[in-house]
Chain A
Amino acid sequence: MIDDDELRELLPALRRFALGLARDAGDADDLVQACLERALSRWRTRRPDGELRAWLFSILYRQFVDAQRRSRRWRRVFEPYVGDEPGALAPSAEDTVLAQDALAALGRLPAEQRALLLMVAVEGLAYQEAADALGVPIGTVMSRLSRARQRYRELMDGGPLRPALRRVK
């Protein structure tokens, strides 16, 4: 059985991770909800020795990938009516320019690099845990992490990335 208090403690990290993946606060919370529902109804499938947080992250990531696949299918149907940057985080008054740049740069990384950077660099998961959560070998985790950091840095160096100010390449 999963302890509710343990889950409550992990909720902020899960929401952050989901937000970094989905880039829309509403979508992110939907993801967290789907993840918790799955975790609470399938808690028997959890490995007894595994860390709860890494297990939840892996569930959430899989939910995200599935949802993305579904929405791609839908977007093809509705293509003419949808802008090319759906789900971008709406900037709010208290967001600093830097924070907006950071999220915009994150959003331009491929999903698997984004997930990895969030797990390891932001949430501090061990490499092996991240490898398990993403279902890839640890060697892939290391090379992908390196690429993610370099790409992110390039995007940040490239100047402001907010839609209104983005440079045309």
Chain B
Amino acid sequence: MNDIDDTELQAYVDGRLDARRCADLEARLAAQPALAARVAAWREDARQLGEALRRATRPAAPQLDPAVIRRGLRRRRQRLALLCASWLLAVGLGVLGGWQGRGALARPAPMADAVEAYRVFASDRLRPVELRAGQGADLQAWLAGRLGRPLALPDLGTYGFALLGGRLLSTSEGAAALVFYESADGRRISFYVRPSRRQPEPSVGTRRDGPLTTRWWFHDGYGYAVVGAADDARTRAIQDALPDTI
């Protein structure tokens, strides 16, 4: 478009040429009035634009003060930290609650009803059983009849326990027979039988519940349990021997 370098022209408009090149360019521009007018217009444009923007800028902007911005950032960071903390707390509580509540969701232990029955009746000194052992065959026939199957009550005399008597209980699985044996020193052991729709795997096991120990097993649609004091060696001996005799 002309013999003047465009980059140099821009630099001249922006006042970025040193004095010598500036004078040199001005001399050449003098010979080209059209270009000189254009350059002057560019300079004027820049001035006008700056002026227009200065006018259009709203006067005060307190929200843009650096101190205000810093405060806002600090508040935002605090809120974020708070949010993180509350989130962590919520997760923590959830985990804790889940851990503590895990027992509620777990399946009941096998033959847990036998242990409950022991707790309720074994400590009863007045009437732990409905039918005393004195009636002998009557007790066995009565329980077997209600249970719906023949029932041979084991003889625990060799372990020092005599048959005390028995009672019937109702469970969600059907009628349960609870039989107590008592030693000369007043300790009691229970033998518990009831129907069982399920046959858990494994079908035999021993469990400790506080001071009590329970040997349980399932066989042919029935669940069995022997419950007694865990600190008594006779209890464990009976528990080991009994499943094989039934």
List residues of chain A with CB under 8 Å of any chain B CB: 2, 4, 7-8, 11-12, 15-16, 19-20, 25, 28-29, 32-33, 36-37, 40-41, 89, 92, 94-96, 98-100, 102-103, 106, 117-118, 120-122, 124, 126-127, 142-143, 145-146, 149, 152-153, 156
Cβ of B67 within 8 Å of any chain A Cβ, yes or no, is yes
Cβ of B55 within 8 Å of any chain A Cβ, yes or no, is yes
Q: Are A153 and B45 in contact, with the CB atoms below 8 A?
A: yes
> With a CB–CB cut-off of 8 A, which chain B residues contact A7?
66
Q: Are B52 and A99 in contact, with the CB atoms below 8 A?
A: yes
Q: Are B52 and A121 in contact, with the CB atoms below 8 A?
A: no
Q: Are B52 and A98 in contact, with the CB atoms below 8 A?
A: yes
> With a CB–CB cut-off of 8 A, which chain A residues contact B185?
none
Q: Are B38 and A153 in contact, with the CB atoms below 8 A?
A: yes
Q: Are A29 and B10 in contact, with the CB atoms below 8 A?
A: no
Q: Are A32 and B14 in contact, with the CB atoms below 8 A?
A: no
Q: Are A8 and B6 in contact, with the CB atoms below 8 A?
A: no
Interchain residue pairs A-B with the least CB separation, the first 7: A99-B52, A121-B46, A102-B52, A4-B66, A7-B66, A16-B53, A122-B50
Beta-carbon nearest neighbor of B58 in chain A? A25
Stretch with Cβ within 8 A of A (4 or more), from B69-77, B144-152, B168-176, B204-212: B69-77
> With a CB–CB cut-off of 8 A, which chain A residues contact B164?
none
Partner of B6, one of A32, A127, A146, A152: A146
Beta-carbon nearest neighbor of A94 in chain B? B55
Chain A: interface secondary structure? helix
* 0 or 1 for each of B10-53: is its CB under 8 Å from A? (1 = yes): 11011010000000000000000000001001100110111111
Cβ of B65 within 8 Å of any chain A Cβ, yes or no, is yes
Which residue among B13, B53, B54 has the maximum number of chain A CB atoms within 10 Å of its CB?
Answer: B53
Beta-carbon nearest neighbor of A142 in chain B? B7
Whole-angstrom distance between the alpha carbons of A30 and B120 in the complex?
A: 75
Partner of B56, one of A99, A127, A153: A99
Whole-angstrom distance between the alpha carbons of A120 and B22 in the complex?
A: 18
> With a CB–CB cut-off of 8 A, which chain B residues contact A126?
16
Which residue among B6, B55, B57 has the maximum number of chain A CB atoms within 10 Å of its CB?
Answer: B57
Q: Are B10 and A142 in contact, with the CB atoms below 8 A?
A: yes
Cβ of B245 within 8 Å of any chain A Cβ, yes or no, is no
Can you identify 20 A-B contacts, CB atoms within 8 angstroms? A15-B58, A16-B54, A16-B57, A20-B53, A28-B57, A29-B64, A32-B61, A33-B69, A36-B69, A40-B69, A95-B52, A95-B55, A99-B48, A99-B56, A103-B53, A118-B53, A121-B14, A121-B46, A121-B49, A122-B46
Q: Can you add 20 more A-B contacts, CB < 8 Å, to A33-B69, A89-B56?
A: A8-B65, A16-B54, A25-B56, A28-B57, A29-B64, A36-B64, A40-B66, A40-B70, A98-B48, A99-B48, A99-B56, A117-B46, A121-B13, A121-B46, A122-B49, A127-B11, A127-B14, A149-B10, A149-B13, A149-B45
Whole-angstrom distance between the alpha carbons of A126 and B11 in the complex?
A: 10
